[in-house]
């Protein structure tokens, strides 16, 4: 009997040790170490919101883990959408610019791209920024992102397959390289009709610039 | 006595398998070691929750219950009693039916195989068979 308990305790220690080792593996798709894909993406120009015929285009280089990007998305973007995008004045283009110091940026960008595959990019974009606690805790956000994906109505099988395949890693890296080539050094960085936007990024500032560009 | 010991060991194995899947589900672990990619597909499907809780958590609780009952049944005052074996058989039967349902979902609905889930299903089948053998035997 004593041998049985010794074996049981040994098994328990073995299981606990294995779980401990697994918990130390913090890698998730999109955060893998090593060289990034050398392929120049798939020519994708970023998700766009607004009319094709809008006279002003704003390109935003953003990082889902960046607190300033979250603040902009949560505080300024609703007014930008209402006043500028929905009125047909501005077309908004989102480009990924995951910063190297952010552990889960690429993973979040990838989650948004996988949502985009199901025509839910902006819904996932909003969810990732709205509940930004994951960016502060440093904990693996996989479970939280899965809940968000479920909440925005994704086909979870297709989402999981997309995430597991790391399908859009090259696209995200191509976007970052594009930003780097344009001189993006931090996030969020904006370009309005191709020109760097250096003012404090508020909805009012974008409106004033868009109005001046269109002669309103 | 032997069948209770066997069930305790198997339940401990099942407990760790379920715990692994549950910890992954709640984001405490990194990559799910699966090999096929089917585990993630199954674990993030709409069927990965049951009664508002992750299926893996049901597994954690179920295997913990089997382990506790088996260990209690190994205590001298319960060794000669049939009740622990009956409880083990009842718990294992519920687990077996639940596992059969989940395996059917993987096969017919989700169209993906989660190796850890299949491992858990195999464990509960062996536990159930062991409990039945224990029921047929005279008390130790």
pLDDT tens digits, one per residue of A49-71: 999 999 999 999 999 999 999 99
Q: Which of A15-19, A188-192, B47-51 has the lowest mean pLDDT?
A: B47-51
Does a structural domain hold residue A49? no
Q: What angle do CA A119, A125, A127 make, to 5 degrees?
A: 110
Q: Do the chains contact at A164 and B41, CB–CB below 8 Å?
A: yes
CATH of the domain at A194: 3.40.30.10
Tokens representing B70 are 């088996």
Q: Which domain holds residue B65?
A: 2-136
Confidence (pLDDT) at A25: 62
Give the pTM. Answer: 0.61
Tokens representing A103 are 């552990």
Nearest to B28 among A7, A23, A159 (CB): A23
Answer yes or no: are the C-beta atoms of A88 and A50 closer than 8 Å.
Answer: yes
Q: Do the chains contact at B37 and A161, CB–CB below 8 Å?
A: yes
A8–B contact, CB cutoff 8 A: yes
Average confidence (pLDDT) over A37-53: 79
Q: How many domains does chain A have?
A: 1
Average confidence (pLDDT) over A164-187: 90
Among candidates B94, B96, B98, B135, which has minimal Cα distance to B4?
A: B135
With a CB cutoff of 8 Å and minimum separation 6, the contacts of A72 are A62, A188, A201
Confidence (pLDDT) at A54: 93
Q: Do the chains contact at A160 and B40, CB–CB below 8 Å?
A: yes
Alpha-carbon span A47 to A39, nearest angstrom: 20
CATH of the domain at B122: 1.20.1440.130
With a CB cutoff of 8 Å and minimum separation 6, the contacts of A109 are A30, A63, A64, A96, A98, A168, A172
Q: Do the chains contact at B41 and A142, CB–CB below 8 Å?
A: no
Helix (H) / strand (E) containing B98: helix B83-104
- What is the layout of strands, in order, in the sheet containing A47-49? A47-49, A90-96, A56-62, A189-192, A195-197
Q: Which domain holds residue A141?
A: 56-209
Alpha-carbon span A21 to A25, nearest angstrom: 7
Angle between helices A121-130 and A142-151 (to 10 degrees): 130
Residue A151: list chain B partners with CB under 8 A. Answer: none
Alpha-carbon span B83 to A30, nearest angstrom: 52
Give the mean pLDDT of chain A.
Answer: 87
Angstroms from A192 CA to nearest CA on chain B: 38
Confidence (pLDDT) at A37: 47
Confidence (pLDDT) at A32: 42
Beta bridge partners of A62: A96
Alpha-carbon span A132 to B1, nearest angstrom: 53
Confidence (pLDDT) at B47: 80
Nearest to A8 among B9, B31, B111 (CB): B9
Confidence (pLDDT) at A35: 46
Q: How many domains does chain B have?
A: 1
Q: Which residue of A has its CA nearest to B12?
A: A12
Residue A20: list chain B partners with CB under 8 A. Answer: none
Angstroms from A32 CA to nearest CA on chain B: 11
Among candidates A176, A181, A171, which has minimal Cα distance to A39?
A: A171
Does a structural domain hold residue A111? yes
Say yes or no to pLDDT of A38 above 60: no
Alpha-carbon span A20 to B131, nearest angstrom: 31
Q: Do the chains contact at A15 and B16, CB–CB below 8 Å?
A: yes
Residue A108: list chain B partners with CB under 8 A. Answer: none
Nearest to B27 among A8, A16, A142 (CB): A142
Give the mean pLDDT of chain B.
Answer: 86
Length of chain B: 140
Confidence (pLDDT) at A139: 77
Does a structural domain hold residue A78? yes
CB pairs under 8 A between A and B: 83
Q: Quick count: other Cβ atoms within 10 Å of Cβ A2?
A: 6
Does a structural domain hold residue A96? yes
pLDDT band at A178 (very low <50, low <70, confident <90, very high): very high
Query: Can the peptide bond before residue A188 be classed as cis, meaning omega within 30 degrees of 0?
Result: yes
In this predicted complex, what is the ipTM?
0.79
Question: Which pLDDT tens digit goes with each residue over A81-106?
Answer: 999 999 999 999 999 999 987 889 99
Sign of CA dihedral B105, B107, B109, B110: positive
Helix (H) / strand (E) containing A92: strand A90-96
Q: Which of A65-74, A86-95, A166-175, B76-85 has the lowest mean pLDDT?
A: B76-85
Average confidence (pLDDT) over B90-112: 89
């Amino acid at each position: 009997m004593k041998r049985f308990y010794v074996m049981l305790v040994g098994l328990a220690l073995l299981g606990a040790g294995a779980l401990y080792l697994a918990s130390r593996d913090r890698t998730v798709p999109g955060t893998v170490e090593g060289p990034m894909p050398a392929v120049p993406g798939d020519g994708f120009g970023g998700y766009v919101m607004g009319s094709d015929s809008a006279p002003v285009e704003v390109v935003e280089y953003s990082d889902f883990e960046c607190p300033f990007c979250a603040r902009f998305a949560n505080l300024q973007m609703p007014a930008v959408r209402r006043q500028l995008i929905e009125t047909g004045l501005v077309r908004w283009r989102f480009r990924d610019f995951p910063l190297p110091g952010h552990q889960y940026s690429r993973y979040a960008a990838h989650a948004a791209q996988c949502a985009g595959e199901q025509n839910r990019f902006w819904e996932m974009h909003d969810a990732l920024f709205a509940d930004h606690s994951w960016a502060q805790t440093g904990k693996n956000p996989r479970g939280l992102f899965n809940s968000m994906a479920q909440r925005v109505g994704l086909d979870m099988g297709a989402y999981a397959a997309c995430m597991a395949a790391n399908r859009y890693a090259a696209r995200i890296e191509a976007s970052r390289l594009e930003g780097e080539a344009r001189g993006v050094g931090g996030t969020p960085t904006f370009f309005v009709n191709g020109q760097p936007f250096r003012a404090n990024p508020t909805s009012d500032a974008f409106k004033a610039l868009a109005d001046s560009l269109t002669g309103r | 006595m032997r069948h209770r010991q066997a069930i305790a060991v198997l339940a401990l194995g099942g407990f760790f398998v379920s715990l692994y899947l549950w910890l992954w589900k709640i984001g405490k672990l990194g990559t799910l070691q699966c090999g096929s990619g089917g585990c993630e597909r199954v674990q993030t499907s709409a069927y990965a929750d049951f009664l508002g809780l992750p299926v893996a958590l049901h597994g954690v609780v179920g295997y913990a219950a089997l382990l506790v009952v088996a260990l209690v049944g190994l205590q001298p005052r319960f060794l000669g009693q049939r009740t622990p074996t009956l409880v083990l058989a009842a718990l294992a039967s519920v687990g077996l039916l639940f596992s059969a349902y989940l395996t059917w979902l993987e096969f017919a609905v989700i169209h993906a195989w989660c190796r850890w889930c299949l491992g858990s299903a195999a464990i509960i089948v062996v536990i159930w068979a062991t409990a039945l053998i224990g029921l047929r035997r005279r008390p130790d």
